[in-house]
Chains A and B, each alone.
Chain A
Amino acid sequence: MTVLILGATSPIARAIAREYAMRGNPIALAARDVAEVARHASDITIRYGVKARGYAFDALEYDRHRETVAEAARDLGPIEVGVIAFGDLGDWQRSVTDPTAARAVLETNFVGAASTAEALAQHMAPRRSGTIVGLSSVAGERGRYSNYFYGSSKGAFSLYLQGLRARLYHEGVHVLTVKPGLIDTPMTWGLRRGRIPIASPESLARAITRGVERRRDVIYHPWFWKWVMGLLRAVPESRWKRIKI
Chain B
Amino acid sequence: MGRWAEQQVAGWGRYPSTTALVARPETRRDIEAAFKDREGSPVLAQGMRRSYGDAALLKGCRVIDFTHINRMLSFDEHEGWLRCEAGVTIAEIVDVFLERGWFPPVVPGTKYVTVAGALASDIHGKNHHVAGSWSDHVRRVELLTANGEVVTCDRATNSDLFWATAGGQGLTGMILAMDVRLGRVRSSTTASDADQVPMIDVETIRVPDLATFLQVSAASHQREYTVGWVDGTARGRGTGRGVLMRGDWSAAPRRAVRRRAARASMARYLGSGWLINSATIKSFNTFYYRRHIRRATARTVDADRFFFPLDAVQGWNVLYGKRGFLQYQFVVPPGGGGDRVAAILEAIASSGIAASLGVIKEFGERAHGGLSFPAPGITVALDFPNTGTRLLDLLDRLDDAVASAGGRVYLAKDARLGRESFRRMYPDWSRWKEVRDAADPDQVFQSDLGRRLGLVGDAS
Contact = CB atoms under 8 A, between A and B. Distances in A.
A35 B24 contact: no
B73 A43 contact: yes
B5 interface: yes
A189 B2 contact: yes
B155 interface: no
Interface residues of B, number: 22
Q: Is the interface of B mostly helix, strand, loop or mixed?
A: mixed
B80 to A, nearest CB: 13
A36 B27 contact: yes
B72 A43 contact: yes
Contact of B68 (A11, A35, A187, A188): A11
A82 to B, nearest CB: 22
B1 A42 contact: no
Interface string B69-85: 01111110000000001
Contacts of A40: 71
Interface size class of A (residues with CB under 8 A): 20 to 34
Interface in B1-55: 1-6, 24, 26-30
Contacts of A190: 1-2, 4-6
B96 interface: yes
A126 interface: no
Interface string A16-46: 0000000000000000010110011011001
A36 to B, nearest CB: 5
B24 A186 contact: yes
Contact of A46 (B3, B29, B72): B72
A115 interface: no
Contact of B24 (A10, A47, A189, A191): A189
Given A33-B27, A33-B29, A39-B85, 19 more contacts: A11-B26, A14-B26, A36-B28, A39-B71, A40-B71, A43-B70, A43-B71, A46-B73, A47-B92, A47-B96, A185-B26, A186-B1, A188-B1, A189-B1, A189-B2, A189-B3, A189-B5, A189-B24, A191-B1
Interface of B: 1-6, 24, 26-30, 68, 70-75, 85, 92, 96
25 contacts: A9-B27, A10-B26, A11-B68, A14-B26, A36-B28, A36-B29, A39-B73, A39-B85, A40-B71, A42-B72, A43-B70, A43-B72, A43-B73, A46-B73, A46-B75, A46-B96, A47-B92, A186-B1, A186-B24, A186-B26, A186-B30, A187-B1, A189-B3, A190-B5, A191-B1
Interface of A: 9-11, 14, 33, 35-36, 39-40, 42-43, 46-47, 185-191
